[in-house]
Amino acid sequence: MPRSIKQTLSVILRYPRITALAAGAITTTAYAPFHIWITALVGPGLLFLLWLERPHHSLRIGFMYGLGLMGSGVSWLHVSIAQFGDLGWLFPLVVTLGFVALLALFYAALGWLAGFFQASRQLSLILVYPALWVLLEWLRGWFLTGFPWLQVGYSQIDSPLAGYGPLLGVLGISWMALVTVGLLLALANSSRYRVGYLSAAVLIWSAGWLGTKIDWSQPMGDPIRVALIQGNIPQAEKWLPEQLLPSLVLYAKKTKENFDRDLIVWPETAVSAFQFQVDEAFIQPLENTVKNHHTHLVFGVVQMDQAREHYYNAMVALGNEERDQYYKRHLVPFTEYLPLKGILWPLVDLFTIPMSDFSTKQDARPLMRVGDYLAGLSICYEDAFGAEMIEALPEAAFLINASNDAWFGKSLAPHQHLQIARMRALETGRYLLRSTNTGISAIIGPRGEIIAASPLLELHVLKGEILPLEGETLYARFGNLTILALLLLAMMTGFPYSRIR
């Protein structure tokens, strides 16, 4: 090992927990809005080094990395609780720190496993650490309804590794990035097989770059002219009774100004009332006007089953012969539904969150008829779950995500959420229309590229064109099965040469 590397390593190892905390914070800069994707290699690289040199402290080191990553990366949770919960500053801070600590436990578990199964340095770096990491990312994506935020793969949406998205999904991109980290560290730590390590790293990135040139879908019709209406209704005002009429007037006015479009999309719960309350006076006349102009409108509203007293976060399509609708299936804990309701119900009153007891309809696929095509629908947080989004394929000709990120103000969250939506377009090979209340609304291409975007926290109508597409990516066909099989193969290859501590 060169002397300069030894000196650097000595400094890193002198304060392992501080280094791990800093490595986690550095990794946050790989994600939007910073987009310094190379730091998603630097942060985990530092952590891998610490695990190698301090295996007996790997659990605590992993926990500190998790605190650094999540403490900086999901700090926006404090913004939403403090601004809209009317709870002062201390309680939101405690809740945010508790949530960050809970997420950091995944990295603590990862560190414990890394220290428990000790292979040779090279096998640990290339096989064991990356595979364990991505398996924990997969677990975090569904455990307790899942929180897949800040998976490594999202940071690579603009790097050559994005070419693996249509093949292996975001987890596959994570794996390729972390294997690259392992190869480069093995290259620096060994005088043997250096050419092989370097060649493997170059091959991974070259193949990823070539993958970005592949067209996974083909046009199936003429371009569709679209308009996404970003109403910019402040969250603190959105559900006030006196705000309903001004909101409806605003959206109706902007819609009528854009009847030359083939498709107009409003955000999640743009109609801030139960649908039955405004159907006769507002929605029916609007529907007639939409049909007369031979266009289509998709909007968000709350629908109620009055017989069962259940209500649903829904999207409705107007302009077809008959209305179609989609009901949100993956609800957000504590804001859209309450786990252990019988015990924790007082929390709803404490947070003063409107519409916080939604129900779901799990039997439906995320598809909606919009004119001549089927669209894949998701509402807000649902676009963070790629395995659920692909249930709309291969039938869906394009994707629609309606959201309301007004909860998060000018924090990192709206930018990170847009980056997540871009990954869904890449994985499916479809255009994605992202219509939000306060931004960032966007038209996203089938390679995950942003074709056009609205400014944050501004009233804006985003116009553009998309193509209805057909075809199926490997990820859309098999989901996470392929990457999970590869991860298990990597573990099976590395574990026979490991010793259990």
Q: Do 209 and 228 sit in the same domain of this protein?
A: no
pLDDT band at 386 (very low <50, low <70, confident <90, very high): very high
Average pLDDT of the residues of the chain: 91
Is the Cβ–Cβ distance between 278 and 270 less than 8 Å?
no
Q: How far apart are the C-alpha atoms of 129 and 270, rounded to whole Å?
A: 45
In a domain, 472, yes or no: no
pLDDT band at 355 (very low <50, low <70, confident <90, very high): low
Which whole number is the average pLDDT over 320-342?
A: 79
pLDDT band at 84 (very low <50, low <70, confident <90, very high): low
Pick the range with the lowest mean pLDDT from 116-130, 155-169, 381-395: 116-130
Q: How far apart are the C-alpha atoms of 442 and 453, rounded to whole Å?
A: 4
Is the Cβ–Cβ distance between 380 and 332 less than 8 Å?
yes
- pLDDT tens for 183-211 read 999 998 776 888 999 999 999 999 999 99
Q: Do 168 and 241 sit in the same domain of this protein?
A: no
In a domain, 362, yes or no: yes
The total number of structural domains in the chain stands at 2
Supply the pLDDT for residue 95: 87
Which whole number is the average pLDDT over 32-41?
A: 97
Q: Do 182 and 251 sit in the same domain of this protein?
A: no
Asked if pLDDT for residue 340 goes beyond 60, the answer is no
Q: Do 154 and 38 sit in the same domain of this protein?
A: yes
Q: Do 201 and 228 sit in the same domain of this protein?
A: no
- Residue linked to tokens 């501004």: 458
Q: Percent of the chain scored above 70 by pLDDT?
A: 91
- Residue linked to tokens 């060649």: 199
Which of the following is catalytic: 137, 268, 388, 427?
268
| Higher pLDDT, residue 270 or 496 | 270
Which of the following is catalytic: 254, 328, 336, 388?
328
The model carries a pTM of: 0.93
Supply the pLDDT for residue 402: 97
- Residue linked to tokens 């006349």: 285
Q: Do 197 and 258 sit in the same domain of this protein?
A: no
Supply the pLDDT for residue 499: 63
Active-site annotation holds for 268: yes
Q: Do 242 and 391 sit in the same domain of this protein?
A: yes
Q: Do 196 and 47 sit in the same domain of this protein?
A: yes
- pLDDT tens for 96-152 read 999 999 999 999 999 999 888 777 788 889 999 999 999 999 999 998 889 999 999
Which sign, positive or negative, has the C-alpha torsion 358, 415, 429, 468? positive
Which of the following is catalytic: 336, 380, 382, 427?
380
- Name the residue range of residue 303's domain: 224-465
Asked if pLDDT for residue 300 goes beyond 80, the answer is yes
Q: Do 122 and 197 sit in the same domain of this protein?
A: yes
Q: Do 211 and 228 sit in the same domain of this protein?
A: no
Active-site annotation holds for 380: yes
Q: How far apart are the C-alpha atoms of 336 and 436, rounded to whole Å?
A: 17
Q: Percent of the chain scored above 90 by pLDDT?
A: 73
